[in-house]
């Protein structure tokens, strides 16, 4: 297993592309949360400390990248190289 940025489970787009080429990541999932959509990755080596690898941005590498729309998240995942994307809704507890 290889961590993301500074020992976290957060990874930049370039890191994801390299891990896809090496066969470490083979699936992407868009997760709807309270503040938007995040992108998680899965595969043989796509986990760090029991958590899935999550896309971050170069502008803020210590926070998951939040997409305002499902289309934006899907576009980014497609740009990275995935055609088959799963979508998960996270329910909030009230």
Strand intervals (E) in the chain: 10-11, 27-33, 36-42, 47-48, 51-55, 85-89
From 65, 71, 60, 80, select the one nearest 33 (Cα to Cα). 65
Q: What is the pLDDT of residues 17-32, one digit of tens each?
A: 999 999 999 999 999 9
Q: Look at residue 90 and tell me whether its pLDDT is greater than 50.
A: yes
Residue 67: what pLDDT?
96
Pick the range with the lowest mean pLDDT from 26-30, 39-43, 57-61, 88-92. 88-92
Model pTM?
A: 0.86
Residue 25: what pLDDT?
93
Residue 7: what pLDDT?
85
Q: Rg of the Cα trace of the chain? A: 12
């Amino acid at each position: 297993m290889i961590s993301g940025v500074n020992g976290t489970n957060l990874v930049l787009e370039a890191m994801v592309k390299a891990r896809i080429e090496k066969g470490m990541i083979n699936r992407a999932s868009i997760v709807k949360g309270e503040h938007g959509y995040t992108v998680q990755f899965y595969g043989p080596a796509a986990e760090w400390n029991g958590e899935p690898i999550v896309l971050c941005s170069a502008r803020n590498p210590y926070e998951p990248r939040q997409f305002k729309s499902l289309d934006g998240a899907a576009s980014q995942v497609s740009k990275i190289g995935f055609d088959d994307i799963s979508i998960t809704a996270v329910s909030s507890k009230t």
